[in-house]
Structure 1
């Protein structure tokens, strides 16, 4: 088995990639900026375990303000960022397509420093450049990945394998 990504893997994909890596599965990433030869991360997105959308954050603020607060608490909250979010949240959210924040960090169980994986450099085992043939034939992508994983193919200079 081999994990193939374009580096855009993140969130749940990051969890799966980590489980595969810890069980010996090699990672291959295709693409990236041509000026950056060498190692790149297979997981280039968020490595957290839970993402909360901006809409969800606004909904919790509204719940805290409208349903969980008495009149006196609402007066106090109205002067805080929660009150501002309740007043202006719909206007702000109507101007953006989407957005979210990493709500829960992923930390490897064997990491004594307890550093969130988001801040740990974890390069892919192999990096490949996209070729014109790969753009038009997905089978060419998999042939190339097969060759570097089990055959005599080679990765870009600086790759681990």
Structure 2
């Protein structure tokens, strides 16, 4: 007998929280990102597929967009609190992206923990950092500084 996991498909908005840093001394929390499936063919499931990331022939390739999420302070605070808690409990280091998707009841549920999200200049982490006022090279600097601090090293001048 094989084990199986069966769960409802979450149909609501999909959010990403970006964290840079470590539990001590703390995190830089990047502005929230929302996946925008509005330009997809209505017959396609609204999911972030492999094709949307790596296959120019995919119907998702040019249709999927990312935008700054417009959520209220309460929901944002809950997402950040849950993300920080997960970061600590999973023993993550230096940076991570935590993805959530709302159910029909409007409550966000954990979708994915990206312990090593891409550093692409046009990826989600870089986009959120840009919204926070950190150009790409500053995002890389923040990640490296988090690692340096975690190891207790002195940064070079």
TM range (shorter): under 0.3
* Bigger radius of gyration: 1
In terms of fraction of residues, the more helix-rich structure is 1
